[in-house]
């Protein structure tokens, strides 16, 4: 009995050492990946207020109805105005801010932070050293899917982006979700700011699966499975050690 417990204790110790070593190695590999990666990284903030300022101009967002009775929103930015028709039935009018429209529309403030820490980016935006951007993104169902927009295939969805330009006015573009890793004309590139903005107005179950190729998780290499095995070994041996002894085992 004592011999078996010593074996379990030894296995737990080895598993712990391997777990710590693999986690440290994984962290180092991921850090190297992000330092060497040329993919842009963004900080995102969802705007829930209906009235705020951007680039020295007031922004107001109000609900409106089309002459046909369809709901939507009217966005005013300084002297410029744009209207967006609701592509999904909005929620209750009693919901605060823009909450009732979040399934089909989002107002996002974002900034590219490169390899800087998030605290540095926040400080840079507040001091004006880093320019943040503001965009209204609308998920538009493909033709023929107006009656059931959530059931349309993701590859057929369209997304309207209205970016608030610092000099005033909006810049509009309509893009489709990429069907392949290399986008075609009229499709957004995977990893672009449009791609991440589009994800915010997609139903959770319809978001694309995480790909573990050419990313930080693939950069972890052998450290990831080793950490998983070491964690499993530590758990199993720890549970076995904590299990109560059988009666009559004492003294054997």
Q: For residues 45 and 110, give the distance between their C-alpha atoms in angstroms, rounded to a whole number.
A: 6
The confidence score (pLDDT) of residue 236 equals 75
For 115: left if phi > 0, alpha if psi spans -120 to 50, otherwise beta; the answer is alpha
Question: Backbone phi, then psi, for 200, in 5-degree steps?
Answer: -70, -15
CA 38 to chain centre: 19
| Residue that wins the pLDDT comparison between 65 and 236 | 65
Nearest Cα residue to 194 out of 213, 211, 209, 174: 174
What's the mean per-residue pLDDT of the chain? 78
Q: Coil, helix or strand for 98?
A: coil
Q: Coil, helix or strand for 47?
A: strand
Identify the band that residue 147 occupies on the pLDDT scale cut at 50, 70 and 90.
very low
For 55: left if phi > 0, alpha if psi spans -120 to 50, otherwise beta; the answer is left
Question: Could you tell me if 157 and 177 are in contact, meaning their C-beta atoms sit under 8 angstroms apart?
Answer: yes
Q: What is the pLDDT of residues 226-239, one digit of tens each?
A: 778 877 877 877 77
The confidence score (pLDDT) of residue 252 equals 45
Q: What is the DSSP letter of 161?
A: E
The confidence score (pLDDT) of residue 215 equals 56
- pLDDT at residue 108 greater than cutoff 80: yes
Where in the chain are the domains?
2-32+216-242, 39-206
């Amino acid at each position: 009995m004592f011999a078996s417990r010593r074996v379990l204790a030894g296995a737990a110790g080895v598993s712990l050492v391997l777990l710590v070593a693999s986690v440290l190695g994984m962290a180092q590999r991921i850090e190297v990946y992000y330092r060497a990666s040329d993919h842009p990284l963004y900080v995102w903030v969802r705007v829930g207020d209906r009235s705020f300022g951007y680039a020295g101009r007031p922004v107001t967002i109000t609900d409106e109805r089309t002459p046909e009775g369809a709901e939507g929103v009217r966005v005013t930015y300084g002297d410029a105005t744009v209207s967006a028709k609701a592509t999904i039935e909005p929620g209750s009018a009693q919901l605060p801010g823009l909450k009732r429209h979040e399934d089909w529309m989002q107002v996002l403030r974002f900034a590219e932070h490169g390899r800087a820490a998030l605290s540095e980016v926040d400080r840079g935006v507040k001091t004006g050293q880093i320019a943040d951007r503001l965009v209204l993104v609308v998920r538009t169902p493909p033709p023929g899917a107006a009656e059931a927009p959530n059931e349309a295939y993701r590859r057929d969805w369209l997304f309207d982006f209205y970016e608030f330009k610092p000099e005033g006015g909006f810049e509009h573009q309509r893009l489709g979700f990429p069907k392949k890793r290399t986008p075609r004309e009229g499709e957004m590139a995977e990893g672009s700011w449009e791609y991440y903005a589009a994800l915010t107005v997609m139903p959770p179950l319809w978001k694309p699966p995480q790909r573990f190729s050419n990313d930080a998780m693939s950069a972890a290499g052998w450290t990831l499975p080793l950490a998983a095995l070491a964690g499993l070994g530590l758990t199993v041996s720890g549970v076995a050690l904590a299990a109560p002894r059988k009666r009559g085992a004492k003294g054997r």
